[in-house]
Structure 1
Amino acid sequence: MSSPWIAGLRSVALNVPDLAKAEAFYTEVWHLEVSHRKEGAVYLRGSGTDHHLLALYAGGELPQLRQVTLRARSAEALQAVAEAAPRAGGTILSPIGPLTKNPAGGTGLTLRDPHGRIFQVVHGDRTHEAREPTRDRPIRLTHVVLNSHAVDETKAFLEQALGFTLADRTGIMAFMNCDTDHHTIAIGITDNDALNHIAFLMPDYESVMRGGGRMKDAGHPIQWGPGRHGPGNNLFNYFIDPFGVVIEYTAEVEQVDDSYQPRGPEDWKWPPGRVDQWGISPPPGASLKEAQRRVLFVPT
């Protein structure tokens, strides 16, 4: 099912109202580490090899999504994206070139889809040496969910411009695959184009649960979870960060190959009162649903 061009999700970049407060939260509570800092920005890594998972920039009063960064499989794949994106209705904001302003470096391009979502695609970026997964610390990003008021158009763009394929579709979400993780980008089927949430892969079930307790102790209770999703089969706990960004601890994401058979909404219905496989967690509340509509891409 893998994309011929995109190997996975590298990082997400956000504008935040208080950079110092954001750094403190994401290092002391969420358990990322500082990979690099410069004036007005800090870059945070997990225990995996990616240079950074979050790039946080000093911004205005409301958080904003600057871009979602994907990693290309090769220089040739990067060129293929540059050619495919305009044909799919996208706009190239920055053509292929050295990423000299980004501490991860490499070569990349930046594009915008027809509804204003901004993607950076990189190749040859710097990485860290591999280390053993550390309990209670995120390893990498596993997926990002982006809302869409026009899901079929967004799905078509991801397929045509980036080579994604549909893994599964429910009544509220389309799950898009590019590699062995069941989904790397999911499309929230709604009436807006906001950031729905960012998911951080934890080493194991224990880390997802211990992370929930740590967040609760810090004044950020679980907004939805614990539970196990249907599509992706992953464990989850959802939270809202200090600025209103929805973030998820997850583990045990289903690994798929070309033998995986996509399923539709009729295949992903739970019995009354259930919102996941286990059925022990109540549905997400109004606060979480509102937060999943609040963070928009920076206008270009």
Structure 2
Amino acid sequence: MSETRVHGPDVRTAHQDLHSEEGALRGEHPGRSRNPVIKVADLAWLEFEKCDLDRAEVFARDFGFGVAARTERELWLRGTYGGSPCMVIRRGRTSRFIGPAFRAAERSDLDRLARATGADVRRADAPGGGEAVDLLDPSGFPVRVVHGGERLPALPEQRPLLLNFGTDHRRTNATQRPPREPSRIQRLGHVVLETRVFGRALDWYLDILGMIVSDFLFLDGQRDRGPTMAFIRCDLGSVPADHHTLAMHLGPGTGYVHSAYQVPDLDSIAAGGEYLKERGYLRSWGIGRHIQGSQLFDYWRDPDRFMLEHFADGDLFSRDVAPGWASMSTSGLAQWGPPATRDFLGASPSPQRIRDVIEALRGDNEMDPARLLGLLKAARS
């Protein structure tokens, strides 16, 4: 399908300093498909299995989720925005990430997707029903595309604080006292995945789900070999969409890296972080502001070691913004904030990580010694 990916006439070929110092060079990956099967509208929810649903619910409430539904075997979590839940956690023998569910814009998209992939349209096992098509991406992640079903009503919001700026005084005769309480999550923002078959997986999401790339990262001295990370958004035409709904990077493993959930503002991130810290949870990295996507961020580990992010104030791009290109480096992850931790980078030499490296270098994938050395260099730069 690679021959179908070209720049359309409505795509800016110059980056115009919108989000990256560099744009694409001639012949580089354009970051979109001319004729995708469908164009997904958003990320619907993420699916996990965990051994202890009670413990998972305690952390979820402390992190700022609401509970949409709970049974003996399932826990559905939500934000304050109306629509679909953010996450489903099913009881399992081990704790693991299953895969993402994306929302189709139209019911007919499910039929089109089923015809193109040989899959079936079936009832979705989600609160409120709906229909779904179940797929498998090149990395081996189950990917569900859903449509219909009952939409959850909106919940009361955690209001952003009213701020004074210079001579712009919006708050007078009043103090600021953000409550020490959980950050109230508004919605699911994005998921980040690691894969050994980055190029094949990237093309699958562009060609099958119609997503488009906001930013590419490449390894220093290896740009001619193509990108090794992509920040990918939904193509909503002239309607601005999150800078990335999905991000993927090449690595020795195949799995979940983190997921991100929007909260109202910086005070919500900070006060919610203090609440989590007081309850003994591990902050992985934060607080800071990213470069790609510009989000204010704060990363935490749940009791099962999954990483989750609170974020606010992310970039929004319409379809006519072409991909930016930048060198991959640890220092390039943030505009300000503390240095990225070894925990966040996954740089600790655990037995599993060592096994991943050995298997990747022996397997039929895109990892080789040059790529591995380039990734290690990027982690130290």
Task: Name the TM-score, length of structure 2 as normaliser.
Answer: 0.68
Matched, 1:41 2:37: no
Corresponding pairs, count = 281
Q: Match of 1:214?
A: 275
Q: Distance in 1 between matches of 2:332 and 2:141?
A: 32
Return the letter of the residue paired with 2:306: V
Which whole-Å CA distance do the structure 2 matches of 1:284 and 1:276 have between them? 12
- Quick check: 1:96 aligned with 2:127? no
Give the match for residue 196 of structure 2.
149
Distance 2:141 2:259 in 1: 15
Selected match of 2:114 from 68, 72, 82: 82
Q: Offset at 1:42?
A: 1.2
Contact 1:143 1:200 in 2 (8 A): yes
User: 2:184 aligns to what?
Assistant: 137
User: Secondary structure, in 3 states, of the residue corresponding to 1:222?
Assistant: strand
Contact 2:282-2:302 within 8 A present in 1 as well = no
Deviation at 1:221?
3.3
> Match for residue 9 of structure 1?
43
In structure 1, the partner of 2:210 is 163
Contact 1:15–1:65 (8 Å) recurs in 2? yes
Please name the residue that 1:110 is paired with.
134
Runs of 4+ in 1 over 3 A off after TM superposition: 1-4, 83-86, 290-294
- For 2:261, the equivalent position in structure 1 comes to 200
1:125 to partner: Cα distance? 2.3
- Name the CA distance, whole Å, in 1 between partners of 2:82 and 2:267: 22
- Structure 1 partner of 2:378: none
Report 1:239-278 matches (<5 A). 239-266=300-327, 275-278=333-336
1:151, CA displacement in angstroms? 1.1
In structure 1, C-alpha distance between the alignment counterparts of 2:324 and 2:136, rounded to whole Å: 29
**Distance in 2 separating the partners of 1:80 and 1:163:** 13
> 2:58 is matched by which residue type in structure 1?
A
Residue-by-residue CA offset, 1:160-195 (whole Å, 9 max, x unaligned): 111111110124631111141111010022111110
Distance of 2:313 and 2:116 partners within structure 1: 33
1:21 equivalent in structure 2 = 55
Q: Distance in 1 between matches of 2:145 and 2:49?
A: 19
Where does structure 1 lack aligned partners over 5 or more consecutive residues?
87-91, 295-300
Q: Superposed, which structure 2 residues align to 1:27-66 within 5 Å?
A: 27=61, 29-60=62-93, 62-66=94-98
**Partner residue, 1:89:** none
Distance 1:269 1:287, change over 3 A: closer
Q: What's the offset of the Cα at 1:131?
A: 4.2
**Range 156-165 or range 215-224, more displaced:** 215-224
Structure 1 residue 290, shift from structure 2 partner: 6.2
User: SS where residue 128 of structure 1 aligns?
Assistant: coil
Match of 1:176 in 2: 232
Per the alignment, do residues 274 and 257 of structure 1 end up closer, same or farther by CA in structure 2, a change over 3 Å counting?
closer
Tell me the C-alpha RMSD between the 2 structures: 2.5
The residue identity in structure 2 corresponding to 1:16 is: K
The answer to whether the 8 A contact 2:288-2:296 is kept is yes
Identity of aligned residues (%): 28
> Matches of 1:133 and 1:150 in 2, distance apart?
40
> What is the identity, as a one-letter code, of the residue corresponding to 1:276?
A
Q: What amino acid is the match of 2:271?
A: R
Deviation for aligned residue 1:64: 1.1
Structure 2 vs 1, CA of residues 191 and 269 (structure 1 numbering), >3 Å: closer, same or farther? closer
Task: Report the structure, 1 or 2, having the larger strand content.
Answer: 1
In the TM superposition, residue 287 of structure 1 has moved relative to its aligned partner by: 6.5
Distance 1:187 1:41 in 2: 28
Aligned partners of 2:249, 2:83: CA distance in 1, in Å? 26
Instruction: Read off the aligned partner of 2:324 and give its amino acid letter.
Output: R
